[in-house]
Amino acid sequence: MTDDVLRVAALTVPCLFGLWTAVACRRAQYHGLPGSDALVWAGLSGAFFLLSLMKTARGIGLLRGFGDFLRGIFKQRGWYEDRRSLQIAASIAVAVVVMALFGWGLLWSWHRIKRYRLAVGFAGLIVGFGIIRFISLHEVDAWNANAPWARTAVDLVAAAGVSTVAIARLCQLRDFCGLATSTRPAGDDPHVSADRTN
């Protein structure tokens, strides 16, 4: 129960930072500053909000029986007998996509605006890990049973990564705003214009 509360709290932090960054980017764009990544940060905030909701619903037992429901659908379609090959293929595909997203984000980590791709890579870690656990390959289930702390570790790493990138973006926006204010001509400042008029 303590781990569930910790994971939900950890996922709430990047949700709030993502929302804050999205609003800041939107305001910066409104004032003519670089802020085209506002929609991406809003999407990341929404994704972590949904993840925290799912963790909460699972913690209080609202998703109990959902796995059995899906297992019944697979049995009806005849996929359950050959599920191991599907599980292996799906797990490998998800792992490759997650690694590609994270590597893609690292390549753009130097860019001021497109650094959000690194945040997408961190978000991909937690989503991909959750999908692989949901696929329920026997080896993964055994490893998860022997290392229950792994879920919390992945959640904390992903939350910390996204939050760090969001904080870096907020600092950039603050620097941009300060630079724009310092380089603004005196004639464009309403306070200076009012003083001159008086």
User: Is 115 inside a domain boundary?
Assistant: yes
Instruction: Give tens-digit pLDDT for 45-71.
Output: 999 999 999 888 877 777 676 666 666
Domain that holds residue 181: 2-60+84-197
- Split into its structural domains, the chain has a count of 1
In a domain, 131, yes or no: yes
79 domain-assigned: no
Predicted confidence (pLDDT) per residue in 66-89, tens digit: 666 666 776 776 666 667 777 788
Judged against a pLDDT cut of 60, whether residue 18 lies above it is answered with yes
Give mean pLDDT, residues 174-181.
59
Q: Is there a domain that residue 23 lies in?
A: yes
Cβ atoms within 10 A of the Cβ of 40, count? 19
Joined tokens for residue 102: 């994270």
pLDDT, one tens digit per residue, over 99-157 is: 999 998 888 777 767 788 899 999 999 998 888 887 776 667 677 777 778 888 888 99
Exposure of 9 in the CB half-sphere (CA atoms within 13 A)? 6
Residue 77 placed within a domain: no
Residues 6+ apart with CB under 8 A from 40: 116, 120
How far is it, in rounded angstroms, from Cα 103 to Cα 117?
10
Hey, what's the torsion of the CAs at 110, 112, 118, 119, to 10 degrees? 150
pTM: 0.76
Distance CA 185, CA 174 (A): 19
Whole-angstrom Cα distance, residue 99 to residue 89?
16
Distance of alpha carbon 50 from alpha carbon 161, whole angstroms: 18
- Structure-derived torsion over alpha carbons of residues 106, 108, 112, 113, reported in degrees to the nearest 10: -120
Distance of alpha carbon 84 from alpha carbon 138, whole angstroms: 9
Residue 90 lies in a domain: yes
Is residue 192 domain-resident?
yes
